[in-house]
Amino acid sequence: MAKFSCAALIVAAPASGQGKTSITAALAYSYRKQGKRVRVFKIGPDFLDPMILEHASNHPVYQLDLWMVGEDQCRQLLVKAAANADLILIEGVMGLFDGTPSTADLAAALGIPVLAVIDASAMAQTFAALAHGLASYRDDISLAGIVANRVGSDYHHQLLIESLPQHLPCLASLSRQSSTIFPQRYLGLQQAEEITDITHRLHTLAEQLKLDSQFTLPKVTISTHIETPVPSQLAGVRIAVARDAAFAFIYQANLDLLETMGATLLYFSPLTDSELPEADSLYLPGGYPELYLQQLADNTALQSAIKQHFEASKPILAECGGMLYLTEKLTDKNGQQAPMIGLLPALAELQPRLTALALQQVELKGQTLRGHTYHHSSMQTALTPTAQATSPNRSHTTEAVYQLKRLTASYIHFYFPSNPTLVADLFLP
């Protein structure tokens, strides 16, 4: 049995859009500048928020989720982080009690106190009513305190503070910021690497954050079983991983697992590289290929290299945007169309609205693999799926998995640690 004792908080809110990412980033950056070793996690499947939080903490951000990751692995990830941390911050997902499993479910399972972020704009004493509701709705979670976000003035701040009961202190506040503090697009925040002045923005947030000087970070002790070593099933296997502005939706835990199983990861850019690294297998993760249509279409040399890899019956795993890159044609939101690689007899097109959002589980070769789907595109193909996913949260979204030769393609972003054996099989030459 392994244990950790470390200061820890879950940053949650009554709804999406309250400013959880801004507050978590501001806290991480502020404590880091004070010399504390900060590690940050994100509850639920997400790629974009973790990119911002990685810049704020200067460390990779991992996902925590009771279903996709599992409670045991969540505990193991936290134990590992605590070994080199003074503070662990965990950004919640949606509203505190939304979804199955919810942020509150994870807080209750792990015994980590919640810091509730409330957007205080356009309200005064109702701020306290919301805080009271969050604190009293379930008796198996505890609120360490409240953060008042988007405060309009000193007088506004005073109204908010005075309205709170004594057992729910306002531990921090942040003045009203520009809505573009972290620019957004249709899948969420812009990718951190696209925000050229991100360090300045983080510094500004941290400067504006007013922390209660009397606040003592709560310490939490979590125990877990000693982690079972993962067999080196990919020893000696070289995996080429697409990674650039068009293909950046990758769980850090996926990369860690591949390397733990013995694989050598070789990164390349479909936007700028004319050839593949010398590799046995290929991993095309999700991202924004539709934003770089012409650049991807013009890179015919790399397209030929990927076709040769496919024709040689070498393994390829393509997720969401990586799958769109393998279609015959891709059309963006403005109706602009460009030819893609064409390994899949399919046409894909971006849609005006979200087309899928759900946790997903799929069975391949008698084994299950978990992940999630989140996209604004649709794909038309005559291919017969090898498998059809199911959703645990009563969603009607059930994504298909397609397999041709050694190619496996789906809209699903797979979470590799949910089944290392099956993942190894997908990448083994």
Domain boundary among 224, 256, 275: 224
- pLDDT computed for residue 179 by the predictor: 54
Q: Whole-model pTM? A: 0.95
Residue 230 lies in a domain: no
Average pLDDT over residues 229-234: 92
- Do residues 300 and 339 share a domain? yes
Count: domains in the chain: 2
DSSP secondary structure code for residue 22 in this structure? H
Phi, psi angle pair for 157, to nearest 5°: -60, -40
The C-alpha angle with vertex 225 and arms to 220 and 228, in degrees rounded to 5, equals 135
Beta strand 377-381 with 346-350 is: antiparallel
Reported as half-sphere exposure (CB side, CA atoms, 13 A), residue 14 has a value of: 19
Q: Is residue 229 part of a domain?
A: no
Q: Are residues 258 and 134 in the same domain?
A: no
- Domain assignment of residue 420, yes or no: yes
Do residues 360 and 389 lie in contact, with contact meaning Cβ atoms separated by under 8 Å?
Answer: yes
Query: How do strand 367-375 and strand 377-381 relate by DSSP bridges?
Result: unpaired
The 10 Å Cβ neighbour count of residue 29 is: 25
pLDDT at 214: 85
Percent of the chain predicted with pLDDT > 90: 88
Phi, psi of 176 (to 5 degrees): -60, 125
| pLDDT of 192 | 78
Contact present, 224 and 77 (Cβ < 8 Å): no
Task: Tell me the backbone φ, ψ of residue 299, rounded to 5 degrees.
Answer: -85, 70
Residue 55's identity, in one-letter code, is: H
Identify the three-state secondary structure at position 303.
helix
48 close to 248: Cβ distance less than 8 angstroms: no
| Mean of pLDDT values over 335-344 | 98
Q: Do 130 and 201 sit in the same domain of this protein?
A: yes
Nearest partner of 131 among 120, 139, 121, 173, judged by Cα: 120
**Strands across the sheet containing 281-284:** 264-268, 238-242, 281-284, 316-319, 407-410, 400-404, 387-388
Give the pLDDT of residue 188.
80
The CA-based diameter of the chain, rounded to the nearest angstrom, is 70
Res 359: pLDDT = 96
305 & 164 share domain: no
| β pairing state of 367-375 and 413-414 | antiparallel
What pLDDT shows up at residue 178?
Answer: 61
pLDDT, residue 286, reads: 98
d(CA 171, CA 303): 53
- Per DSSP, helices labelled H in 182-266 are 198-208, 252-260
Q: Which long-range contacts (CB under 8 A, 24 or more apart) does 397-402 make?
A: 397/356, 397/357, 397/358, 397/360, 397/373, 398/360, 399/356, 399/360, 399/362, 399/373, 401/362, 401/364, 402/323, 402/344
| Domain stop point among 191, 224, 257 | 224
Does 198 share its domain with 261?
no
Q: Looking at the annotation, which residues are catalytic?
A: 320
Does residue 281 lie within any of the structural domains?
Answer: yes
- Looking at residue 358, its pLDDT comes to 94
Q: Are residues 200 and 247 in the same domain?
A: no
Residue 211 counted as domain residue:
yes
Single out the residue in 185, 200, 224 at which a domain terminates.
Answer: 224
Identify the pLDDT of residue 176: 87
**Residue 1 pLDDT greater than 80, yes or no:** no
Name the residue range of residue 273's domain.
238-427
Tell whether 199 and 245 lie within a shared domain: no
Q: What is the pLDDT of residue 348?
A: 98
Whether the predicted pLDDT of 211 surpasses 60: yes
Which CATH number characterizes residue 257's domain?
3.40.50.880
356 and 400 fall within a common domain: yes
Same domain? For 212 and 249 the reply is: no
Confidence of residue 180 (pLDDT cuts 50, 70, 90): low
Give the containing element (helix H, strand E) for 156: helix 154-163
pLDDT higher than threshold 90 for residue 147: yes
Q: Tell me the three state secondary structure of residue 163.
A: helix
pLDDT, averaged across the chain: 95
CA distance 372 to 395: 11
Q: How confident is the model at residue 181 (pLDDT cuts 50, 70, 90)?
A: confident
Report the CATH number that the domain containing residue 179 is assigned in CATH.
3.40.50.300
Tell me: do 418 and 271 sit in the same domain.
yes
Burial class of 302 by CB neighbour count within 10 A (0 to 12, 13 to 18, 19+)? buried
Domain co-membership, 220 together with 244: no
Task: Quote the pLDDT of residue 225.
Answer: 81
Q: Is residue 32 a contact partner of residue 57, using CB atoms and an 8 Å limit?
A: yes
Regarding whether 375 and 310 lie in a shared domain, the answer is yes
Q: What contacts 24+ positions apart, CB below 8 Å, involve 387-391?
A: 387/362, 387/363, 388/362, 389/360, 389/361, 389/362, 390/360, 390/361, 390/362, 391/358, 391/359, 391/360, 391/361
Task: Tell me, yes or no, whether 89 lies in a domain.
Answer: yes
Q: Domain for residue 91, yes or no?
A: yes
Does residue 418 lie in a domain region? Answer: yes
